[in-house]
Each structure stands twice: as structure tokens, then as C-alpha cells.
Structure 1
């Protein structure tokens, strides 16, 4: 099950691209990405907990969530995503932002995010493309933990959905 996650930076487009092939069907991957009862089990880095406060997966819909380390070492991060495009079961586009506890967006924290789910022989190829407003933010993404967080999240998604489906993808 353990598969390699690939990471690319495109400085011209200010994009961080993270890809992974997982041993689950595109439909199951879609459900994992779009249903709060599933995403709360895997979203975020290993040993972090995510709480979903709202998730309305449709253009104009909102996803409000927080993530925090299980050991209490660090602050809880509050985030709000606004869906731009939703094409089941292959593409989700949203603008993800950090917020305060009242869901007010932190200025200049917006990240344009594209999630694609492509069927491949081994299951599904998942791609997350995060576009930053400037190259400095792109370069800081790794320091901020985004690469490790997305890599861990892909591990957790695959493990959770395989377990949830009883080993049938």
C-alpha cells in the first residue's frame, strides 16, 4: 500500500504540486474528499486532528475546518475554503485561507487549490496543486509543513478508506 508521493515546485506559476497513486477507486477517493464524516479522519498531518464545522461541496459552498496537533504542542489552525468548481468524481477547485476563530479570513493567506482524481490501473492518481500569491510563499510552504502535511494526509486517506471499505477499493 505504501506508495511514493511526488512533490514539484513550479516557480513561474507559483505552484506546489503533490501527487500520489493510491489503491482506492476514484469514487471512493471522491467520497473521502467530499464527505465530512470521512475527511475528518485523514485531513492534515499524522498525529493531528481535524474538526469539520461546515462542508458544503458545491460551487460557492464553504468548508470550515480546524487542525491541531494531538500532543497539544502548537496552535490550532482555523481555515475556510470556498469552492469554485466541483466536477464529480474528478475535480475540486477551492480557495483555502487561514482564518481567526470567527472564520474571518486572514489577509493574504488565500491559496488557490485544485484537487484532481484520475483513474489509473493501480487505483487513483491524486493531485493537489496549490497556487500561492508569490514565490516567497511557495518557498515557505515546505517550512510551514505543507509538503509533510499533504504526504501524511495521502497516507492517512488511503489507510482510512481501505479500512473503511473492508479492503475493497
Structure 2
């Protein structure tokens, strides 16, 4: 008989990255829509934000524009925001998942743990191959954005 832990393992993608930037800077890149729309999404994607309320109960609606011209409509609800430590977002449009971003301070660096818990093992199975690489692309874009931001501030 499977326990709750086993169930989560069959529905969750976890990506971890250490950024050469202070936690406050990384957290702000997630909570400031002008910064977020620059780096959010896999390589080659761009974004149009329609609504962005970074507060519990707030809505984040946006269109991701794929490199092949396909538009992907997204709607999210902000569940929790604990500056500068944690953000929890429900992706309410398909595919449905809960995104938890945890920001750990490592001196002048930041460790980000990016967890996506999908609504079912079936949805996870359909998405995992694309989402795994997409998450890596997303965090690569964030790393590049933060490096550019640090260069501008120096």
C-alpha cells in the first residue's frame, strides 16, 4: 500500500539551483512583474502579463509566447508569500500543479528549491519530460538575468 510520501514522489518535480546573488535580489526577481516577465519560462519564450497581484489570494494571469508562435494562456493564484523565504502558487489552468519556491540564504548566494506538485500521477507523467527541461531553462534564464542585474548595479 502506497503512503503519502510515495504519492508525492509520483507527482512532483524538484529542481534546485544556487545563484550568485543575495536572497533579497532573487526574491525580488520573482515578485516584481517587470523583472519576472523578462526571465520567466523556458528558453525562447516571452511573456505578456495581464494581471499580477503578488499577495495571498492574488491572481497572476499571463500569456507565454512560444518560439514557434504558439501562445500558452496561464492563470495562477498566489497561496502564500513569506518574504524573502517562500512563495506558493497554484497553477489553476491546465496542467494543474502547486509551485513552491523556497529561497535559502547561503551567505552572498541563494539556494532556490523549485517544487512542482502535479494534481495526479497521470498529469505528472504527461508533463515531466517537458517540465524538467523547462524548469532548467527557466532557472538558466533567471541566473543570466541576475548576473546582468548585478553587473548594472556595480
Same fold (TM over 0.5): yes
Which runs of 5 or more structure 1 residues have no equivalent in the other structure? 1-9, 99-105
Structure 2 residue 90 is the aligned partner of structure 1 residue 95 = yes
Closer/same/farther in 2, CA of residues 24 and 168 from structure 1, 3 Å limit: farther
Find the aligned partners of 2:6 and 2:139 in 1 and give their Cα distance: 24
Map 1:73-84 → 2, pairs under 5 A: 75-84=70-79
Map 1:74-153 → 2, pairs under 5 A: 75-98=70-93, 109-121=95-107, 123-143=109-129, 145-153=130-138
Residue 139 of structure 1 aligns to a residue in which SS? helix
Moved over 4 A (4+): none
Find the aligned partners of 2:135 and 2:56 in 1 and give their Cα distance: 23
Residue 40 of structure 1 aligns to a residue in which SS? helix
| Normalised TM-score (structure 1) | 0.80
Q: Where does residue 161 of structure 1 map in the other structure? A: 146
Residue 38 of structure 2 aligns to a residue in which SS? coil
More helix by proportion, 1 or 2?
A: 2
Shift of 1:122: 6.1
What RMSD, in angstroms, separates the aligned Cα atoms of the two structures? 1.9
| Normalised TM-score (structure 2) | 0.87
Shift of 1:85: 0.7
Structure 2 residue 20 is the aligned partner of structure 1 residue 34 = no
Find the aligned partners of 2:91 and 2:33 in 1 and give their Cα distance: 16
Q: Where does residue 101 of structure 1 map in the other structure? A: none
Judge conservation of contact 1:162–1:168 (CA < 8 Å) in 2: no
